[in-house]
A and B are shown apart, each in its own frame.
Chain A
Amino acid sequence: MTSNLPLYVLAAPLLTAFVVNLAGRFWRGSVAILSLGALLFSTISAVLVLQQVLTHGTIHYTVGGWQAPWGIELVIDPLAALMLALISVVALLATFSALASARQELPGREHLFFTLYLILISGLLGLAVTGDAFNLYVLLEITSITTYCLIAMGKGRAPLASFNYIIMGTIGACFYLLGVGYLYMLTGSLNMADIQSILPGMYGSISVATAFAFLLVGVWIKMAFLPLHGWLPNAYTLAPSSTSVLIAPLMTKVAVFLMIRIIFSIFSPDYAFFQHVGVQHLIVWAAALAILIASGLALAQTDLKRMLSYIIVAEVGYMVGGVWLANTAAMTGAILHIVNDALMTLCLFLAASAIVYRLGDSKLASMKGLYRRMPLTMAAFTIGAFSMIGVPPTAGFFSKWYLILGGIEAGSWAWVYVAALLISSLVNAVLFFRIIEIAYFQGGGEHGHSAEMPRQEACAWQLSPLLLSAVALLAIGLAAGPLVEHLIIPALPAGF
């Protein structure tokens, strides 16, 4: 019986984190072996769990034998299982690159870095499966605190960016905690399913609305939903490459997942979306505005990582809007986009990390002639860029397809969102072709055919996950039909 499997997924990186800390002091090489081993174990377990959930339905796991609603419960529904698999796969791929970057950026401190890194991963995995509202807060803070530290390991202004993140992140977490407090006062329970069964009688109450608002604003801060995004660009840009390859693809996406959890597992879609139609429209419009403003801000950047950070903020708008459009197509799009965006961001940040590894910085201006210097890296980067723009058959096209379709189906009030998605695609095209142009044309002289730059590809540790993620983007795109049918549709929250 594989009944303890879900717990193993979380426990493997958590326990390894401490072993890495000790063993890494004596033997540097153990860091790589242990981290990769633990994550590989997690990935395999997560895939098995996903398979189990898809065939046998939701798994309820009671930790330590304390029955819900008193004990802490892990609820692995298809969506959570999908998130488990996504997080562990992305983390595994990112780790290859992080190992190489960390050796360069934090020589001698790898064991410390990877202790935090692994705790962060197990926190993220925990967020995906927890069925307890307070437990979720604790895990949220575990991921946040480790992220603060990992960002602060960067050079120069990184500690300041980390400090700002600490302030904003704490406000977000406290709001969430307040929301949980209100819910506990109202229902006397912390178990999500229990709360959900008790709440309907009180939906008219203003306290419920307050709790809902606090929870939402809390996760919005964590996911950098514009205008609550201020902390993100600096934090992600200034963080060491080894950190940003992990947090950029995962943090915001997990926060979006938490928003779905709050709406569907604590409250009900009926309450969240349809009892106050005005609020629903307002949030979708806010998402559209977020997409437009973040895309505009991305245009103004001259640094690759900073530009990508603003694109992340814009993508958060995609997903928030998709969820709040509240129809099947848009919800499919939002969940598919969680998967796709995680992989696209991973691909682009892996490329950025490889570029930083070779060039020393990620300024756009230093990327001249990069197609000659790092052809494979740039090929993968180009696929990631196409996916961000939404060129078929890359993965990004299909999630955008469902999101726009959802916008069209939602009716005339959602046209702003549809327009925002299209405009943002166009802006992304401008953003990425600006980079492609810089990297494609040789710098300096009018005719670039003379001065050949030596080929200097990224190291295998960075190149292999990068190429894998690029291939994954194409594969997901070409397999979009079966993928949506067998993975995303079952993962749709009940009622959709």
Chain B
Amino acid sequence: MESMLGVVVAKYNYWLYVVLMMIGFYAMIGKRNLVKKLLGMNIFQTAIILFFVSMGAKRGGGIPILDKEAALAGAVKVAEVVNPLPHVLMLTAIVVSVSVTGVALAVMQRIYKEYGTLEEDEILDKIGRS
């Protein structure tokens, strides 16, 4: 039991990402309001970003800005800098996430103009009646 707790505490960042992801997932699937769905989507994406970012992090690692002379001399200690690649990847992922959100918001505006509401139930109701 204690070891279990140990696992959780030692890798709390991963547990956090799983919890966040589940929250986002629930909101995307379970919520009936389109804005809430979209928020769920953002939480979901953020969870993955967190996952990637923590993947690159190292205890005691510094920022990966290297002295050119030292690096060329071959004196880079990998353990002393965090892995920059996942972070760079996440810059792209954030761009993707922002653009998806932007598109979703625009689409939602069109839905609101069409139906006057963003509640899925009410929209389906209106479609059913028309």
Contact = CB atoms under 8 A, between A and B. Distances in A.
* Complex contact flag A–B (Cβ < 8 Å): yes
Contacts of B34: 163
Dominant secondary structure at the B interface: helix
Which of A134, A170, A171, A178 has the most chain B CB atoms closer than 10 A to its own CB? A170
B103 A166 contact: yes
Contact of A174 (B44, B85, B106, B127): B44
Contacts of B28: 167, 170-171
A228 to B, nearest CB: 12
Interface in A116-169: 134, 137-138, 141, 144-145, 148-149, 152, 156-157, 159-160, 162-163, 166-167
A184 B110 contact: no
Contacts of A173: 96
A134 B114 CA distance: 37
B108 interface: yes
B92 interface: yes
Given A145-B100, A170-B100, A171-B25, A163 B111 contact: yes
Interface in B37-88: 37, 41, 44-45, 48, 51-52, 55, 85-86
B111 A149 contact: no
Interface string B105-127: 01110110010000000010001
B111 A178 contact: no
B104 interface: yes
Contacts of A167: 28, 37, 41
Nearest to A177: B48
A160 B89 contact: no
Interface in A172-222: 173-174, 177-178, 181, 184-185, 190
Interface string A252-282: 0000000000000000000000000000000
B91 to A, nearest CB: 11
Interface residues of B, number: 29
B25 A145 contact: no
* Residue in B41, B85, B103, B123 whose Cβ sees the most chain A Cβ within 10 Å: B103
Contact of B51 (A149, A152, A159, A178): A178
B123 A138 contact: no
B103 A181 contact: no
Interface in A258-316: none
A184 B34 CA distance: 34
B129 to A, nearest CB: 13
Contacts of A149: 103, 106
Given A163-B107, A177-B48, A181-B51, A170 B41 contact: yes
Given A145-B103, A152-B107, A163-B34, A170 B44 contact: yes
Contacts of A141: 96, 99-100
Given A138-B92, A157-B127, A181-B52, A174 B107 contact: no
Contact of B96 (A138, A159, A178): A138
B62 to A, nearest CB: 19
B22 interface: no
Nearest to B89: A134
Contacts of B123: 160
B23 interface: no
Contacts of B99: 141, 145
Nearest to A135: B92
A184 B55 contact: yes
18 contacts: A141-B96, A141-B99, A149-B106, A152-B107, A152-B110, A157-B127, A159-B111, A160-B123, A163-B34, A163-B37, A163-B104, A163-B107, A166-B104, A167-B28, A174-B48, A178-B48, A181-B52, A190-B85
Given A162-B107, A174-B48, 9 more contacts: A141-B99, A145-B100, A149-B106, A152-B110, A160-B111, A160-B127, A163-B37, A166-B41, A171-B28
The 4 closest A-B pairs by CB, nearest first: A159-B110, A141-B96, A152-B107, A159-B111
